[in-house]
Amino acid sequence: AQRVTQPEKLLSVFKGAPVELKCNYSYSGSPELFWYVQYSRQRLQLLLRHISRESIKGFTADLNKGETSFHLKKPFAQEEDSAMYYCALGEGSNYKLTFGKGTLLTVNP
Amino acid sequence: DTGVSQDPRHKITKRGQNVTFRCDPISEHNRLYWYRQTLGQGPEFLTYFQNEAQLEKSRLLSDRFSAERPKGSFSTLEIQRTEQGDSAMYLCASNSNRQGQFFGPGTRLTVL
């Protein structure tokens, strides 16, 4: 069965430090991976799609099929990056999403 | 169009009552999804529409749950005979083709 694992519930870093939020998946087909972010009191927002291979707000994520991972990285964390981050796997032709449990990132001043 | 909207934002009900939630997707999106999120968990898929057709339902969607999208625009999710275990945030999302999904603010249901 498809599964998304985010091993860290909480991650705390200092401003300016590098940050990496881990995501591993299991899926028998060809995966589509996403990162979503939820800032305090806001709705869930799409941050990155692996297909786009883009950098948003300084974040990047590379799909590693060998390690079945899609880790989210940013070289220099900012306080405004503090939020809940969810990794999600898109399945099949309907692209329903399977989410991980999320990682709460706190960037300290 | 300011994005996906959901109504109400909060609903408190007593066990055994029926509740109905509404979702208005982004107007040009033909796909609409319902998810449920409980504390400490990521959203879990409930059901999916392409236009007015309900194409997939999760095993999480018991017989007490029903969803409709009558004209391929807004959607409703009804829960009959609510139970305390139904307390959760109910999220709606929409998209077209192979996009990421755009989420609404959610409806928080509390069953007393």
Mean pLDDT of B51-59: 91
Residues in chain B within 8 Å Cβ distance of A49: 100
Give me the mean pLDDT over the B32-41 stretch: 95
Task: Give the strand order in the sheet containing A72-74.
Answer: A19-21, A72-74, A60-61
Query: Distance of alpha carbon B52 from its chain centroid, rounded?
Result: 15
Which residue from B19, B28, B7 is spatially nearest to B72, judged by alpha carbons? B28
Give the bridge partners for B67, in sequence order: B77
pLDDT band at A95 (very low <50, low <70, confident <90, very high): confident
Is residue A102 within 8 Å of residue A85, measured between CB atoms?
yes
Cis peptide, bond prior to residue B8, ω within 30 of zero: yes
Reported as a pLDDT band with limits 50, 70 and 90, residue A99 is: very high
A vs B: CB pairs below 8 A: 50
pLDDT at res. A94: 65
Dist CA B46 CA B43 (whole Å): 9
pLDDT at position B60 is 83
pLDDT at B36 over 90: yes
What is the percent of chain A with per-residue pLDDT over 90, rounded to a whole number? 75
For residues B13 and B16, what is the distance between their CA atoms, to the nearest angstrom? Answer: 9
A residues 65-104 lying closer than 8 A (beta carbon) to B? 86, 88, 94-102
Assess whether pLDDT exceeds 70 at residue A1. Answer: yes
pLDDT in tens, A8-67: 999 999 999 999 999 999 988 888 899 999 999 999 999 998 877 778 899 999 899 899
Our CA-based measurement puts residue B49 at a distance from the nearest CA of chain A, in whole angstroms, of: 9
In chain B, % of residues over pLDDT 70? 98
Q: For residue B61, name the pLDDT band (cuts at 50, 70, 90).
A: confident
Q: Quick one: closest CA in A to B50, which residue?
A: A94
Taking residue B35's Cβ as centre, other Cβ atoms within 10 Å add up to: 26
Cβ-based contacts of A46 with chain B (< 8 Å) = 100-102
